[in-house]
Each structure stands twice: as structure tokens, then as C-alpha cells.
Amino acid sequence: MNEERSKILKLQKEVKDVKLNALLEITKAINNNFSTPQLLELYQDILENRLGVGKLVLFSFDEEWSCILKYGINDSLGNIQFENELLEISEIETISFSKGNYSKSFEIVVPVFHKQIPLAYVLLGDVNEEKIELSAAIKHLPYIQTLTNIIVVAIENKKLFKQNIQRAQINKELELAQNMQQLLFPHLLPDNPGLQVSAKYLPHQQVGGDYYDFIQLNNHEFVFCIADVSGKGLAAALLMSNIQATLHSLLNYTHNLKDIVIELNRRVLYNTNREKFVSLFLAKLNTKSQQLTYINAGHNAPLLLYESKLIELTKGCTLLGITDTLPVTQEETFNYASEFLLLCYTDGLTDTLNDNGETISLDKIRDILKTNTGNPTDLINDAVIHYAEAFKGGQNFPDDIALLSVKVTDMRF
């Protein structure tokens, strides 16, 4: 039984790695401006050869609907034509047409929309309809939807560029990326008598390169982080999404912070070729042993308020994406015996300028923490942002701002 379970877990890990690497490969291809045929070839390879999806037809709209990719189908369908019944479908569903041939040959339709306007439809199925097991098209459906959206958006952007409406391209690109980015942030953060966690994110543009996360490992262990990708806009957001995917994948088989930081550094180097870097604060909270362990990879030092003392968490290593190996990686563990408050932030906060050219001082942030220590974490974040808004006067925020506040209030938790 244990041997069988080990095989299953190994297979699950292999599939996760295949999916993660495929996403990174697609992102790199888009960043390197691969042509539409090259992107479609890569898309087909991932679905057909790596995930085992038996057959596929992809329709795209460019003045009229046309088939831009097909594989695994026989001659019985003849010339692949778009069937108007597809336009009645707005969500993923099984195919059940009253007319046409597709209901006889495919299982699933995946529509891709932008502002309620259909951009593409993907029809999926397996070559062997007689097999009893769950088909690859259904088994990997959420991932296929994500991959299809990325590919279709990339191809659509190429169309817009060729039509010389760059402004429309950028707006659509950013809106879609913003929706994707919002999905990466945690939607449910702990809020109970023992542990309160709150976050706030203000992108400088529609999308940005700041990232925070809070992940529960078990009943008493949590991993959380805050990170900042150099640069702004879509390129920074794409790299940030890669970091999020990598972190979640790594946590499936290791909780060692040093191992995670070393692998993240390798992935950043691989995907950016030293053209971008990442600052990261990564921590693990154990409420049973009452320990907070962290590594600070060149990030703004979070502020820890404990027993009326403010401690800056600075131990760690250099920025990620600078060198092939991290020469020194220090991990520090903080043991606590009473409640504490931790504020993590990105440099968009402290780089904020007022009308006199002055920046926000850390002393003022420290004062806000001390004054609001008895308040819930969401109100603490609001107090920091409220001060920053008032401080900048008529100036704009220069960069994204992300805040992540963590408060442990009950030692029995």
C-alpha cells in the first residue's frame, strides 16, 4: 500500500513539474516574441505529447472565425468549419449540440472571452472514446484553460500589434494580466483570536511586480512571503507569477527555506538571463514551537514589534537573479513567548516622495506600528496607507506598494 501511494505521489509530482515547466516555457516564448505558428506548435506539444490530450481544434476570430490549430482528428469531420452554436457557450461545458458534427467527436469546449467578446474556442477530446478511465482533457481541464488563455491572449496581442492599435493592445493586455495577477494573491487570510493576517496591494500600473503570499502547511505551520520584481508592468507581473507557481510547487516536497530560496534564485536566473532581479522576504511561522524563521533576500527589512521593541529582520542573502550561486544564505529564528506584530512592505512605500522631495521615514512607520499595535492588522495596513496618501500630497506613488501584516495574539493558538 505504501509503495503504491509512493508511486502515486511520485506521478503527481512529475505531472506538477511538467505543468510548471510548461508554463515557464510558454512565458519565455512570449517574452522572446515567438511567432504565432511557434506558439501554437509549443501549445500542441504540451497538450498532445506531455499531457496526453488526444485531439483538439482551436478556432480564433480575425475578421471571421477560422481554425488555426487541429490535431488527432480523422477525415470524417471533413473541412473544419466554425459552427455558430459555439457562440451560445460562455463557460466551459461538455459539448451537446443539436446540430453539427462536433458533439460526436469532442468532449469539452473551452471558450476564451475578453469583455464578453469571444476570442477563441477550443474543442477537446480523446482518440479512444471507449476507454473507461478519466480522459486527459477532463483530468487537466483547469490547467488547459489557463494555458489556452495565455496562448490566445498572446496571439490576440500580436494581431492588435499588426493592426497598429498599440494602445488597445496594451489596455487589453494589462486588464487580462490584472485579472490573472489577482488570482495569484491569497483570497482567504487567517483572522482568528490567535492569528491575524492582512494584506494590501496598490499597483503603480494596472499590473505590477509586487507579490505576497500566506500558505498554511498544517495546523500549526505557515509559510509566508513578500517580494518585489525589478521593473513595472506586464514583464514584472509575468515573472512574479512564475515565482508564485515555483514557490507553491516547491512547498509540495520541501519546507526548508534555504532550499526554496536557492531554487527560486535558479529559476529567476533561468527566466530572465540576469535582466531582472527579485527581492524576497520568506518566513515560516510555527505556532506550536513559537518560532518565526526567515530569510531576507535583499528585501526591505520587515519590522517586528515584540515586547515594545522594534526589530528589523535583515539576516539572509543577496537579491535573487544576480549570481548563479548565493554565496552566503543566513537563516534566523526568532523565539517568541508573547504576542508580536510583524509588518512586511515593499520599497514603493519608503520611496514615496512628497512635494518637497522628501521620502517617508522608517521612524514614522515605526510610530504608526506602536500607536496601532492594539488594532486589527487590516486597520494597521490602512493606517500606513492613509499616512502615505497624506504624505505624498500632489505627487503620485512612484512604484507598487504591498503590505503584509502578521499578528500572533494568543499563545495557546
Q: What residue segments make up the domains of the chain, in order of their start? A: 2-164, 186-408
353 pairs with which residues across the strands?
359
Q: What angle do CA 249, 254, 259 make, to 5 degrees?
A: 95
**Architecture of the domain whose range is 186-408:** 4-Layer Sandwich (3.60)
Q: Which residues of 28-67 are buried (b: 16+ CB within 10 A; e: fewer)?
A: bbbbeebebeebbebbbebbbeebebbbbbbbbbeeebee
User: What pLDDT was estimated at residue 16?
Assistant: 79
**Structural contact between residues 54 and 71, judged by C-beta atoms closer than 8 angstroms:** no
User: What pLDDT was estimated at residue 264?
Assistant: 93
pTM for the full predicted model: 0.59
CA–chain centroid gap for 306, Å, is 32
User: What pLDDT was estimated at residue 178?
Assistant: 62
**Structural contact between residues 318 and 299, judged by C-beta atoms closer than 8 angstroms:** no
- Measured CA distances, 103 to 95, 123, 126, 127, 326 (Å): 5, 10, 13, 14, 55
Cell 492613509 belongs to residue: 386
Dihedral sign for Cα atoms in the order 108, 109, 110, 115: negative
SS3 240: helix
**Structural contact between residues 247 and 263, judged by C-beta atoms closer than 8 angstroms:** no
- The CATH fold assigned to 2-164 is Beta-Lactamase (3.30.450)
- Measured CA distances, 182 to 202, 266, 341, 344 (Å): 12, 25, 26, 19
User: What pLDDT was estimated at residue 181?
Assistant: 60
Per-residue pLDDT of the chain (413 residues; tens, 9 = 90+): 566 655 555 556 766 777 888 888 888 888 888 888 999 999 999 888 888 888 888 999 888 898 899 888 876 666 778 888 888 888 888 776 655 566 667 888 889 888 888 889 998 887 555 555 567 777 888 888 888 888 888 888 877 776 655 555 556 666 666 666 666 678 789 888 889 999 998 876 666 678 899 999 998 999 999 998 887 666 777 788 888 888 988 998 899 999 999 999 998 888 887 778 899 999 999 999 999 999 999 999 999 999 989 999 999 999 998 888 888 889 999 999 889 999 999 998 998 888 888 999 999 999 999 999 889 999 999 999 999 999 988 888 888 889 999 999 865 55
